[in-house]
Amino acid sequence: MTAPAQRYTAARRRAAHPALTDFAGGYGFELDPFQIEACEAVEDGEGVLVCAPTGAGKTVVGEFAVHLALREGRKCFYTTPIKALSNQKYADLIERHGAANVGLLTGDNAINGDAPVVVMTTEVLRNMLYAGSSALDGLGFVVMDEVHYLADKFRGAVWEEVIIHLPAAVRLVSLSATVSNAEEFADWLVTVRGHTRVVVTETRPVPLWQHLMVGRRMYDLFADPATLEVDPDLLAAIREQERRLEWQAPRRRGRPAPRRPRPPDRVDVVERLDHEGLLPAIIFIFSRAGCDAAVARGIAGGLNLTTPEERAEIRAIVDQHTADLPSEDLPVLGYWEWRDALEHGIAAHHAGLIPAFKETAEDLFVRGLVKVVYATETLALGINLPARSVVLERLVKYNGETHADLTPGEYTQLTGRAGRRGIDVEGHAVVLWTAGVDPAQVAGLASTRTYPLRSSFRPSYNMAVNLVDQIGRDEARSLLESSFAQFQADRAVVGLARQIQRNEEALAGYAEAMNCHLGDFAEYARLRRAVSDREKALARAGAASRRAAAAESLERLRVGDVIRVPAGRRAGIAVVVDLGRGSKLDPAAPTVLTMDRRVHRLSAIDVPTPVEPLAKLRIPQSFELRSARSRRDLASSLRNLDLPETPRRQGKRPRAEDEEITALRAQLRRHPCHGCADREEHARWAERHYRLNQETEQLRRRVEGRTHSLARTFDRVCALLADRGYLDGERASADGRRLARIWSESDLVVAECLRAGTWEDLDAAGLAAVVSTLVYEPRQGERGAPRVPAAIRAALDETVRLWSELAADESDRGMNRTREPDAGFAWPAYRWARGERLEQALDASGVEEQLSAGDFVRWCKQLIDLLDQIGGVAGGRVGARAREAVAAVRRGVVAANTTG
C-alpha cells in the first residue's frame, strides 16, 4: 500500500499542477520522474532544458507544452531540425489533438499554418522572426526538438538565432540528447531567456547490454556492467580466433602472409541475431553502397524473415506509400528489387534513396514487418526508429575528410536506438569483431559519456542585413555578443587567462634560474638560437636543392635510357620503358624495368640524388609491359650491356662557410656569458624560458582572438555590405532588403547576380541549371568534369566571375570565403526542368558514378527552395522564369515525395 505521506505529497502535486495531472491521464503509463519535473517547470512558467538518452521519452515534455498552449488558448510552435522529423511529429500531434488544431510548415508543405499548434523546421521559425510575421502573435511556447543541432557546422546558427530573437514572453522547451556540458548551455539560456530549469537524466528506460560478435558467436562485453571489466570469456574467444586466423593465413617463403580480416558474413549475422531473439535490428554500415550490397547479399543468401501474411501486408503498405510515383520511373528507381527485399523483411536506409522508399522502410520497421534495416549514420539523426538491437559493422567511419574512429558521443547516439520502450525488457548493442578491434576500445566507447555541445554560430550576410535594418548596428553587435558562441569563447578566455598567469609565474622562475653574473644570458641565448636557426635553414635549402636537381634529372630521362637507381628497394641498374605521369609531389615519375624483370614507377624516395644515363638501350616496338616474354627479353639485353663501373663516392666537399653564421658565431664567442662555467646549465633554463614564452604568446593571441570575436566578424561583414551598397548607414538599402529575403549559403552571390542582371536572358530550364550551382555540393569522391549546357555557359561564367570578386574581397578582409559555385548538378537540373525523363536526368551528371535518385530528389528540393525565394524577390523576367522553373522541377518523383 502507498504510505499516507506519499499519497499526501502526490495529492499536493496534482493540486499544484492541474494541467500536468490532466495531461498525464491521457497516457497509458506513468510518467518518469524527469518528465514530471520538466513538465512542472513548464507549468510553473519556466523555460526548461531536458537532456536525456535516445528513447527516454523527452518528447513527452514537448507534447505537454502543446497541451498547455491549447489549454491556455495560446499558440505553440514545435520545431525540428529535419523535414522528415517534422512530418513524423505532425502525424503524432494530429492523432492526439485533431487535424483542425495542428499545422505543418516545412518549406515543401504549408498545411493549416494558422492552427494554434504548428510543426515546422527551425529555419521556418527563424524566417518568421526576421520578417516580423503576424503568425507570432499569441505565441506562448516554442519546443526546440533536438536542440543539440546548434553544433551543426552548416545549420547550427539557426538555433541560436531563434533562441536569441524569440520574444521574452515565449517559454522555451529545449529537448536535447545527453550532452556533457548541459549546465553550461543552461547558464547561457538563463542569460538570454531568463530562468531555465535543467533536467538531466542518464537513465535509459530500457537497459542496454553490450556485446561483441566473434565469428558466429556472441559474447557479453562486460563481465560485470557495474565494474566495466571486459568479460574474460570474450578475451579468450578473441585469442582463439586470432590463433585460427594466423594458422589459416597463407604462407609466403616460410612466413605468414598479411591477414585480411573480414567481419562475419552478413547473412550469418542476421541468422545469429534471429537465433538469439534480437530482431528487429538496425545494422549500421557507414556506406550507401555497403547498405545496398548488404540487402542484395541477404536476398542472395536466402534470408526470408516474413510470413506469407506479412508479405501480403507489406505489399499493401508499399502500394500505399508509392501510389504517386510515375510508373515509367519505377525501373530506374530499382523499385521491383526494393519491394522484393521488403517482402523478405530487409531494407536499406540512406540518403541515396528517395523519401518514399525511406518512409516506407520506416513504417514497415515500426510495424514489425521489416526485421532488418541496413543504415548509414544519418538514421541516427532524429528519426524515431527504435529496435531491439543495434549492430555496428565497424568502429571507423568517413567524416567527410578522412576515416576516423567513432567518438563516444557517436557510439552512444547510434546504439541508443536499441531497446523499444513498452516492448523490450532490454536493448542490445552488438559490435562485430575483426582483427584489430580491441575490446577495451569498445568498452571505452560504451562507458564514456563525453558529448560536449559546441556552438557553430557566425554572422551571415543575410543575418547582418536583417539585424541592422531592424535594430541598428550597435544593438545588433550587442545581440551577437549574447550568442552561445561568444558565451563559450568568453568562458574559455577565463581559463586561458589563468593559464597565462601560471605561465608568467613560471617564466619569472626560469629567468632567475638562467641569471648569469657575467652578463645578459637572455641575449646570449638569442645568439645561440640565431645560429641554430640559420643552420637549419641552410640544411633545408640544401635538401630542397638536391630534391630539385633529382627531379630535374628525372624529367630529362627518355625511353631507353639506362640508369643506376641510387636508393630504395629498387636500387640498381634499370632501363626507362615509359615516361608516365606522376603526381603533384612527383611530377616526373618514369617507369623502369630492372635486371630481375621487375617493373617499377620511380619516386622521390628512389631518387634522392640526380641520375644520369649510363647507356642507351633500344626498346623494341613490340615491347609490352604486361607481357612476361617482353620483360624477360628486355631484361636479358639490359644484363648484357657493358656498363661503366660504379664511380667511387667522392668525399664531401667542404662547404663554404655562410657569412651570416660566421658573424653570429663571432658575436657568440665575444659575449661575456660565453666564458661562464655554468653556461650549459643556464642554457637549459633559457631554452625552457623560450619555449614557455612562445606558448604564452600563443595563449595571448587566442585570448585576443576570442574576446569580442563575433562582433569583430560582424563589423567586417557589415563593412563589406556597406561597400557593396547593401547597407546605407543604419538601414538596409533596396538591394539589402532583397538580400534580407534570401536564405542561402550563397545569399550574397544570388543578390549580386540579381542586381547585375546576370540571369536576365535565361529561360526557366537555364535558370534552374545556373541556380543549381549555388546549392549543389558534390559527395566526397565524386570525380569527373561536370557537363555544362551550352545555353547557360555565358550566364554561369558571369556568375562565377561575380563569386570570384566576392571571394577575393572576403579574403582581403580576413573572412571565410563563400563556397564556389559547382556545376555538378547543372545538366540533371537542366534536363529535368526541360521535361525529360528521370533516367535521362540521372545519367546527365558527368561523374563516374551515376547520381542516385535520392540525391537527385534532395538537390531538386533545395533548388526549388532557392528558386522559390528568387521568384519572391526578383521582379520582371527573372522572377517569372524562377516561378516557371519551380513548377518545371516540382514534378514526377520530386512532386511525389514532398513529405520527405
Distance (Å, whole) CA 177 – CA 452: 11
Contact 634, 628 (CB under 8 A): no
Using the structure block, give the residue that is written with the C-alpha cell 519556466: 46
DSSP 29-83: SPPPHHHHHHHHHHHTT-EEEEE--TTS-THHHHHHHHHHHHHHT-EEEEEESSH
Distance (Å, whole) CA 884 – CA 871: 9
Q: Which three three-digit cell numbers place residue 345? A: 523483411
- Starting at the edge strand that comes first in sequence, how are the strands of the sheet with 110-111 ordered? 110-111, 102-105, 117-121, 75-80, 139-144, 171-176, 47-51, 196-200
Distance (Å, whole) CA 399 – CA 523: 48
Question: Which parts of the chain sit beneath pLDDT 50?
Answer: 1, 252-253, 258, 583-586, 648-654, 848, 898-900
Q: Which residues contact 344 (CB under 8 A, 6 or more apart)?
A: 298, 299, 303, 304, 305, 306
CA torsion, points 340, 343, 349, 351, in degrees to nearest 10?
Answer: 40
Residue 191: closest CA among 317, 348, 366, 47 = 47
pLDDT of residue 556: 87
Q: b vs e for 512-524, b when ≥16 Cβ sit within 10 Å of the residue's Cβ?
A: eebebebeebbeb
Helices (H), 396-520: 408-415, 439-447, 461-471, 473-480, 484-513
DSSP 3-state of 429: strand
Q: What is the DSSP letter of 625?
A: T
pLDDT of residue 18: 86
Contact 452, 180 (CB under 8 A): yes
Q: b vs e for 2-12, b when ≥16 Cβ sit within 10 Å of the residue's Cβ?
A: eeeeeeeeeee
pLDDT of residue 311: 94
Query: Can you give the length of the chain in residues?
Result: 900
Query: What is the pairing mode between strands 727-728 and 731-732?
Result: antiparallel
pLDDT of residue 653: 46
pLDDT of residue 789: 84
Distance (Å, whole) CA 374 – CA 371: 10
DSSP 122-172: HHHHHHHHHHT-GGGTTEEEEEETTGGGGG-TTTTHHHHHHHHHS-TTSEE
Q: What is the DSSP letter of 385?
A: -
Contact 39, 66 (CB under 8 A): no
Q: How far is CA 301 from CA 213, 341, 433, 438, in A?
A: 20, 12, 21, 30
Q: What share of the chain is helix, strand, coil (3-state, %, to 5)?
A: 50, 15, 35
> Phi/psi of residue 603, each to 5°?
-135, 180
Using the structure block, give the residue that is written with the C-alpha cell 667522392: 650
Residue 593: closest CA among 567, 556, 619, 622 = 619
Distance (Å, whole) CA 96 – CA 90: 10
End-to-end CA distance of the chain: 50
> Phi/psi of residue 403, each to 5°?
-80, 125
pLDDT of residue 900: 39
Is the CA virtual torsion 4, 5, 10, 14 positive or negative? positive
Q: How many helices (H) and strands (E) does the chain have?
A: 33, 28
Q: Which three three-digit cell numbers place residue 230? A: 571486459
| Cis ω before 280 (30° cut-off from 0) | yes
Contact 139, 410 (CB under 8 A): no
